[in-house]
Amino acid sequence: MQKVAVMGAGSWGTTLAKVFADAGSEVHLWARRPELAEAINTTHINPDYLPGLELPSGLIATSDAAAALDGSAIVIFGVPSQTLRSNLEKWAPLLPADSTLVSISKGVEAATLKRMSEVIADATGVDESRIAVLSGPNLAKEVAEEQPAATVIACTDEERAKAVQHAAAAPYLRPYTNTDVIGAEIGGACKNVIALACGMASGRGLGNNTLATIITRGLAEITRLGVALGADPFTFSGLAGMGDLVATCSSTLSRNRTFGYRLGQGGTLEEAKATTNGQVAEGVISSDSIFRLAQQVGVEMPITQAVYGVCHRGVDVEDMIVALMGRSKKSE
């Protein structure tokens, strides 16, 4: 039985720890707070992030990073995208040789405009062929409840992707492999911004025509950025592109959509935070970094720019909608 370390005991990290345990691996879940690790070990429940949902009895939680990482064949990084580098700098000396490093954080680093796999390569010095990305239409609560779902494991080394695929193949989660790391990451990071826009539109009382328009045109601008960065355009019609986008833009479980909904109702950023357990939605941070990344490579992303305006420049949601609808006419 191979050992898997999941570094981060939030809702998605905990859910994936359950997935890998249910698929047959020995799983060690690292939690930043010792009291949370103790609660998980004692009750087999994560009271803070997945309350009421029983975790496998064989899943071991710890606040000792060295103990979690020791001997792990697969290491999954489940900390927020903007704290990934600082955590990796502490963990890098502890990483087992030849382990596969898997990013599940969806974002672009604000300080450097780098994707998460690039941050991992930077901070650890490992070759990119050892770095994989797990991404797809995966709302944590639904996966944790064992509702059927699929995901993508992207890695430039196809054999490593297949090894992670095998380790993640729980009865209720179907993993597919892909070698397009760039596409999987860009799809995962950008969809949070489009979900904010969908939430804002819903908060204004707008209906399905508007949401379908935002999702479809959102996919178009995500694809433009991905292709400019070297991604395969077909990735965006798959699970890590369209699949993830639809799930995040449509579900009331989506933190980004919920956050946008409150902004659409006229709430401030602080009031919106209250609807998402006091946390700023990832898309708020990403709207700034992705907008700057798009400018850097000369790609037009009007919806991302509009969300950036609301979240970082104080633009009113109603004015954002008027500006988007008033753009110069063009072919699809």
- pTM, entire model: 0.96
Per residue in 192-224, pLDDT (tens digit) is: 999 999 999 999 999 999 999 999 999 999 999
pLDDT at 293 over 80: yes
For the chain, which residues make up each domain, given as ranges?
3-179, 186-325
Question: The domain 3-179: what is its CATH number?
Answer: 3.40.50.720
Q: Is 162 a catalytic residue?
A: no
Give the per-residue pLDDT at 128: 97
Question: The domain 186-325: what is its CATH number?
Answer: 1.10.1040.10
Q: Which of 3, 191, 329, 330 is catalytic?
A: 191
Region label for 94, one of left (φ > 0), alpha (ψ between -120 and 50) or beta (otherwise): alpha
pLDDT at 332 over 90: no
3-state DSSP helix/strand/coil % of the chain, to nearest 5: 55, 15, 30
The pLDDT-based confidence of 328 (bands split at 50, 70, 90) is confident
- Contact yes or no for 27/20 (Cβ under 8 A): yes
CA gap 173, 224 in Å, rounded: 30
The pLDDT-based confidence of 326 (bands split at 50, 70, 90) is confident
**Mean pLDDT across the chain, nearest whole number?**
96
- Contact yes or no for 197/307 (Cβ under 8 A): yes
CA gap 278, 141 in Å, rounded: 18
Q: List all residues 6 or more positions away from 245 whose beta carbon is below 8 Å from its beta carbon.
A: 187, 191, 194, 195, 215, 218, 219, 222
User: What's the average model confidence in pLDDT over 109-115?
Assistant: 97
Per residue in 147-163, pLDDT (tens digit) is: 999 999 999 999 999 99
Give the per-residue pLDDT at 327: 87
- Contact yes or no for 204/321 (Cβ under 8 A): yes
